[in-house]
Structure 1
């Protein structure tokens, strides 16, 4: 697979739907424990569910910042 390009990801919204998994890892995320799901859901329920257009739940890049290879 070396040298092959990954296929395009397609249109991605600013918010994940469904949200982030409870556990990362293919095997691990198949059956997360009930206590973990309850704890994560309780935290998620207290977080904002919508953002204004152009807003995201993570910090934005500084205005006027430019990234360049050195």
Structure 2
């Protein structure tokens, strides 16, 4: 999980650390829906979309490793 921290920092920096904007941009990027983003939010969505595949890949991999580790005990 610690390996994803730099990616999560990049996600937060993409939306200028605003939680509301992060939720809105996340919904647009992950659900592929249009919610009427303004120009700044569109730029944030592009930055978010560039980082989120890597972040989710690391998260899924870490979760799988945790499951394997826990089931082996």
Give the structure-2-normalised TM-score: 0.29
Q: Which has the bigger relative contact order, CA under 8 A and spacing at least 6? A: 2
* Larger Cα-atom Rg: 1
Name the structure where helix makes up a greater proportion of residues: 2
What's the TM-score once normalised by structure 1's chain length? 0.29
